[in-house]
Amino acid sequence: MNLEPSRRDFLKTAAVAAGAVLIRNVAVAKPADALIDTNVYLSHWPLRRLPCDDTAKLVAKLRANGVTQAWAGSFDGLLHRDIAAVNARLADECRRLGGGLLVPFGSVNPKLPDWEDDLRRCVEEHRMPGIRLHPSYHGCKLDDPDFAKLLQFAAKRGLLVQIAHIMEDRRMMHPLLQVEPPDLKPLADIVKKTPGLRLELLNVKLPPLDLLKAGDVSVEIAMLEGVGGVGKLLAQLPAERVLFGSYAPKFYFESALLKLKESPLTEEQLRAVRCANAQRLLARKQLS
Partner 1 sequence: MFEIWDVHVHLSGVPGATPEERLERLLEGAERLGIARLCVFMGMKWSYDPTPDDMRRQNDEVLRAVKRFPDRAFGFVYLNPQHTQASLDELNRCVRDGPMVGVKLWVAMHCNESKLDPIVARATELKAVVLQHTWYKITGNLPGESTSEDLAQLAARHPNATFISAHSGGDWERGLRAIRPYPNVYGEICGGDPTAGYTEMAVRELGPERVLYGSDAGGRSFASQLAKVLGADIPDSAKRLVLAENTKRILKPILREKGIKI
Per CB under 8 A, does 75 bind partner 1?
no
- Write the interaction track for partner 1 spanning residues 11-50; mark x where CB under 8 A is met and - where it is not: -xx-xx--xxxxxxxx---------------------xxx
Give the three-class secondary structure for 102: strand
Q: Which stretch binds partner 1 (CB under 8 A): 33-41, 105-113, 153-161, 166-174?
A: 166-174
Q: Which of residues 51-70 bind partner 1 (CB under 8 A)?
A: 51-52
CA distances to 209, 226, 253, 270 from 1, in Å: 37, 27, 19, 19
CB 245 to partner 1: min, Å: 13
Q: Which of residues 214-253 bind partner 1 (CB under 8 A)?
A: 223-229, 248-253
> Contact at 8 Å (CB) between 200 and 218?
yes
Torsion of CA 119, 123, 127, 129, to 10 degrees: 80
User: By C-beta, is 146 or 168 nearer to partner 1?
Assistant: 168
User: By C-beta, is 26 or 214 nearer to partner 1?
Assistant: 26
**Beta-carbon contacts of residue 184 (< 8 Å; ≥ 6 apart):** 142, 165, 201, 204, 208, 211
CA 9 from centroid of its chain's CA atoms: 30
Per CB under 8 A, does 7 bind partner 1?
no
Per CB under 8 A, does 169 bind partner 1?
yes
Q: How far apart are CA 280 and CA 48, in angstroms?
A: 35
User: By C-beta, is 91 or 257 nearer to partner 1?
Assistant: 257
Per CB under 8 A, does 254 bind partner 1?
yes
Q: How far apart are CA 255 and CA 175, in angstroms?
A: 27
In the complex, the residues that contact partner 1 under the rule CB under 8 A are 12-13, 15-16, 19-26, 48-52, 168-175, 178, 223-229, 248-255, 257-259, 261-264
